[in-house]
A and B are shown apart, each in its own frame.
Chain A
Amino acid sequence: MLDVSNLKVSYGAVQALHGVSLRVEKGQIVTLIGSNGAGKTTTLRAISGLLKCSADRVAFEGRELRGMPPHEIVRLGVAQAPEGRGIFANLSVNENLEMGAFIRNDVDRVRQDKKEVFELFPRLKERLAQNAGTLSGGEQQMLAIARALLTRPRLLLLDEPSLGLAPQIVQTIFKVIREINQAGTTILLVEQNAHMALKVAHRAYVLEVGRVAMEGDAKELAKSDQVRKAYLGGH
C-alpha cells in the first residue's frame, strides 16, 4: 500500500534521513520505533508532504507522493495525527472534528462517521462544545486521532500517540489503535514506547540515526536481544 524507497531528508546542512526504505501492506499495523532523533517523525512528515525530500519512490497505492503538497496527499487517503497532536486550541472540539472532515462534502456520511468516532472515544462526545485547548493531554490525543479518522483515510499515520500520557490512557489509546486497524484502516505508527508498539504491530522497523537498522515481524523483533536491550529496557 505504501512503498517508500531510499528516502532522504535534510534540514539545511544536516541530513536527518540517509535513505530509509519501508513498506506498509494493506490491513497491517506497521510501527517505526527508535530513540529520539532517529528520524521517525521526519519520515512521517516527508510522507505527508510537509518536508522536502528526495527518494527513489514514495508511492501510495501506486501513486507517487513526492512533490505533492500535504493538502492533496490527504485527499488521496493518507491522514496524519501529528506529533504534539496539533490540536486547534482556538476551535471547539466539534470544529476540530469538522476540520477533519474539511475535504469531504458528504454531510450525512460525516455525521455517521462522527457517531462511530464517538463510540471509540466517548469522552469527546461529552466535550463537543468545549474549546479544544481546555482538553487534557489524553483527550487531545483522542481528538487528534478522531480528527484524522474523519478524513476517511485508508492509511493512518500516527506520530507518538502515547507521548506524555499516563499509562492508563496509553492503554486506551493502543486499544483504540487496534480497533481502528481491525475496522480496516492500515496504520503506520511511530512510537518511542517500543514495548506497546511492538505488541500491537504486525511489522516493525527500527530506525537509528536516519537509517533502518532492523526490520521484520513485530513479535520476532520484540524477542531479539538487540531490540530488547536498546528499546525494551531488557537485559
Chain B
Amino acid sequence: MGDLLQTLITVISVGSLYALIALGYTMVYGILKFINFAHSDVVVIGAWTSFTTAAVLLPRLGVTPTEAPWWAAAGVLMLAMVVCGLVGFCVERFAYRPLRGAPRLNVLITAIGVSLFFQNFGQLKYEVLKPDGPGKPAMSLPFGAQPQGMPRLVGSRALNDATVSRGTLAGVDGAVVRLSEGVSLEERRQYSIRVTPAGAPRAIEAMVVAPAGRYEPGQDLRVGFMPAGAAPGSAYALVRSARVPIQLVDVAIVATAGLLMVLLQLLVYRTKFGMAMRAVSFNTTTASLMGVAVNRVISLTFVLGTSLAAAAGFLYSLKYVTLQQTAHQGWVLLGLKAFVAAVVGGIGNIQGAVLGGFLIAFVEQFGARYISSDLRDVYVFGVLILVLLLRPTGILGSTVREKV
C-alpha cells in the first residue's frame, strides 16, 4: 500500500515534468507541423541556467541558496524562463524561419543540427565570474563539461510527517539532544530532529539514531549529527517520518507545473491570441487573411513552449539535483520520453500532451517498481509502439478534415 502510494506520487511529479516538456513539442508541431528536436536541449539550458543563477548569482546577492526564501526560487525560475524564451525566439528566427516553405525534411535536419549545437556548445567553459570565497563557485558561460550539484532551493523534507515532541535545546553535547518533553520511539520508524538555529530562516534536519523505546524529559537522544549553529536555546522539533512521505519538492513541482498548465490552457482557449494560435495551427493562409501576423504568432508559440521547457528543467533539477553535462544521455532520454508523451497523447493536441505526460510517467514508474527497473525505458517506448499501431493519431489526436 505504501509502495503503491509512493509510486503514484512519483508518477504525478514526474508526469507533470513530462507534460510540461511535451507541451512545447506539441505546440510547435500544431503550428509548423514539424518536430522541434532541439526542444529537449532547451530543457537542459533551463536546468543549467537555474543552476548558474541559484549556485552563483544568489550567493553574490547575499542569499544562501539552501536557505533561500520562496521568492528567490521563483526568481530563479523566472530568469530561466526568460532566458529560454529568448533562446526559443532566436532558434525560430534564425534557424527555422529562413526555411519556411522548404521541405519539412530540411527543417527536421536543421532541428537536429540545432540540438547538436546546444549539446556541444553547452559543454564549453568560459569562467565569467571567478570563485569568490566558500560557497560562491565560479560562473561559467556556457556551462562546462563537469556535472554540478544544484543547490536545494526547496528543502528536502516531507510535508506529512508528524511532530511528536518539541522543545528547546537544553544542552547539546556532540550529536545529542536533551529532551524537554518525553516521547516513545516506535520500532521500524524513522525519526529526525529539526533545529532552527537563531537567525536562520529554515530548520536544519538531522536523523535520530537513538534506539526505539521510551524517553523521559531530560534524557538524551542521539542524532546523526548536530546541525551547525544549533546552540543551547535553539528551538527543535522531534519528527516521526511519514510512511509515505510527500516531499516538499514534489509538491512544488506539481503546483508550479499545474499553475503553468492552467495558465497556458487559459491563454490558448480564452484569449484572442490563443484563438489566433489555434487558427494558425489549422490554416495559416486563412489566418493571415483574417489579419493575423502569422510570423509573430509562430515566434510567440516558440517563446511559450521554450519557457515551459525552462520551467521543466528548473523543476527537474530541484528533484534530481545532479546536473549532467548538456549532451548526457539522461537529458536525451528525458526529452525523448516527453516527445513520446506528446505523440501518445496526440501530437498537436494540448490536452493530449498533458495526458500523455502522465500516462508515460505511470507506465515508466509502475513498470520500474513492480516489474523491473532495468526496463523502465522499454515500457515507455513499448507504449509508443502500441499506440502507433492501434491509434496512430494518438489518444486525443484526430485528423480534422475540411469539407469540400
Residues on A lying within 8 angstroms of B by beta carbon are 48, 50, 69-71, 74-75, 79-80, 82, 84-91, 95, 98-100, 102-103, 133, 135-137, 140, 147, 151, 164
Chain A binding surface SS class: loop
Contact, CB under 8 Å: A88 / B279: yes
User: Mask for B271-290, Cβ within 8 A of A = 1, else 0?
Assistant: 01001101101110111111
Name 28 interchain pairs, CB-CB below 8 A, sorted by A.
A50-B285, A50-B288, A50-B289, A69-B288, A70-B285, A71-B294, A82-B285, A84-B402, A87-B286, A88-B278, A88-B282, A89-B282, A89-B400, A89-B401, A90-B278, A91-B278, A95-B275, A98-B275, A99-B290, A99-B292, A102-B272, A102-B292, A133-B400, A133-B401, A133-B403, A135-B403, A147-B290, A151-B291
Shortest Cβ distance from B402 into A: residue:
A89
Contact, CB under 8 Å: B403 / A102: no
Task: Give Cα A48 to B290, complex, Å.
Answer: 11
User: Mask for B248-284, Cβ within 8 A of A = 1, else 0?
Assistant: 0000000000000000000000001001101101110
List 11 extra interface pairs beyond A85-B402, A89-B401, CB under 8 A: A69-B293, A71-B291, A86-B286, A88-B286, A90-B278, A91-B279, A98-B272, A99-B279, A99-B287, A102-B275, A133-B400
Which listed residue (B282, B288, B289, B291) contacts A90, Cβ 8 A? B282
Contact, CB under 8 Å: A133 / B402: yes
Shortest Cβ distance from B403 into A: residue:
A137
Please name all residues of chain B whose beta carbon is closer than 8 Å to the beta carbon of A70 when the two chains form the complex.
285, 288-289
Task: Give Cα A18 to B24, complex, Å.
Answer: 45
Contact, CB under 8 Å: A74 / B290: yes
Shortest Cβ distance from B295 into A: residue:
A69
Q: How far is the CB of B386 from chain A (nearest CB, A)?
A: 26
Chain B binding surface SS class: helix
Task: Give Cα A147 to B293, complex, Å.
Answer: 17
Contact A86-B283, Cβ < 8 Å, known A70-B288, A133-B400, A133-B403: yes
Q: How far is the CB of B358 from chain A (nearest CB, A)?
A: 23
Please name all residues of chain A whose beta carbon is closer than 8 Å to the beta carbon of B286 when the two chains form the complex.
82, 86-88
Contact, CB under 8 Å: B289 / A74: yes
Please name all residues of chain B whose beta carbon is closer than 8 Å to the beta carbon of A86 when the two chains form the complex.
283, 285-286, 289
Shortest Cβ distance from A137 into B: residue:
B403
Instruction: Assess whether B102 is interfacial by the CB under 8 Å rule.
Output: no
Contact, CB under 8 Å: A71 / B292: yes
Task: Give Cα A50 to B294, complex, Å.
Answer: 12
Shortest Cβ distance from B400 into A: residue:
A89
Instruction: Assess whether B404 is interfacial by the CB under 8 Å rule.
Output: yes
Task: Give Cα A137 to B283, complex, Å.
Answer: 17
Shortest Cβ distance from B276 into A: residue:
A102
Contact, CB under 8 Å: A151 / B282: no
Shortest Cβ distance from A81 into B: residue:
B289
Which listed residue (A69, A79, A137) contacts B404, Cβ 8 A? A137
Task: Give Cα A10 to B281, complex, Å.
Answer: 27
Task: Give Cα A188 to B133, complex, Å.
Answer: 75
Task: Give Cα A155 to B183, complex, Å.
Answer: 86
Please name all residues of chain B whose beta carbon is closer than 8 Å to the beta carbon of A137 when the two chains form the complex.
403-404
Task: Give Cα A84 to B272, complex, Å.
Answer: 25
Please name all residues of chain B whose beta carbon is closer than 8 Å to the beta carbon of A133 when the two chains form the complex.
400-403
Task: Give Cα A206 to B81, complex, Å.
Answer: 57
Which listed residue (B272, B288, B289) contacts A79, Cβ 8 A? B289
Contact, CB under 8 Å: A102 / B291: yes
Contact, CB under 8 Å: A90 / B281: yes
Contact, CB under 8 Å: B402 / A87: yes
Contact A102-B404, Cβ < 8 Å, known A50-B285, A86-B283, A90-B278: no
Most A C-beta atoms less than 10 A away, residue of B276, B281, B404: B404
Please name all residues of chain B whose beta carbon is closer than 8 Å to the beta carbon of A103 when the two chains form the complex.
290-291
Nearest first, the 3 A-B pairs at minimum CB distance are A86-B286, A103-B291, A70-B288
Q: How far is the CB of A17 from chain B (nearest CB, A)?
A: 19
Contact, CB under 8 Å: A88 / B283: yes
Contact A71-B293, Cβ < 8 Å, known A85-B402, A99-B275, A99-B279: yes
User: Mask for B363-404, Cβ within 8 A of A = 1, else 0?
Assistant: 000000000000000000000000000000000000011111
Contact A102-B290, Cβ < 8 Å, known A90-B282, A91-B278: yes
Please name all residues of chain B whose beta carbon is closer than 8 Å to the beta carbon of A48 when the two chains form the complex.
289
Please name all residues of chain B whose beta carbon is closer than 8 Å to the beta carbon of A90 when the two chains form the complex.
278, 281-282, 400
Task: Give Cα A151 to B404, complex, Å.
Answer: 24
Shortest Cβ distance from A80 into B: residue:
B289
Shortest Cβ distance from B30 into A: residue:
A90
Most A C-beta atoms less than 10 A away, residue of B275, B276, B278, B281: B275
Q: How far is the CB of A75 from chain B (nearest CB, A)?
A: 6
Task: Give Cα A133 to B278, complex, Å.
Answer: 14
Shortest Cβ distance from B288 into A: residue:
A70
Q: How far is the CB of A152 from chain B (nearest CB, A)?
A: 11
Q: How far is the CB of B108 from chain A (nearest CB, A)?
A: 23
Contact, CB under 8 Å: A99 / B283: no
Contact, CB under 8 Å: A71 / B288: yes
Q: How far is the CB of A163 from chain B (nearest CB, A)?
A: 8
Shortest Cβ distance from B294 into A: residue:
A71
Please name all residues of chain B whose beta carbon is closer than 8 Å to the beta carbon of A98 when the two chains form the complex.
272, 275
Shortest Cβ distance from B291 into A: residue:
A103
Please name all residues of chain A whose beta carbon is closer than 8 Å to the beta carbon of B292 when the two chains form the complex.
71, 99, 102
Task: Give Cα A164 to B272, complex, Å.
Answer: 32
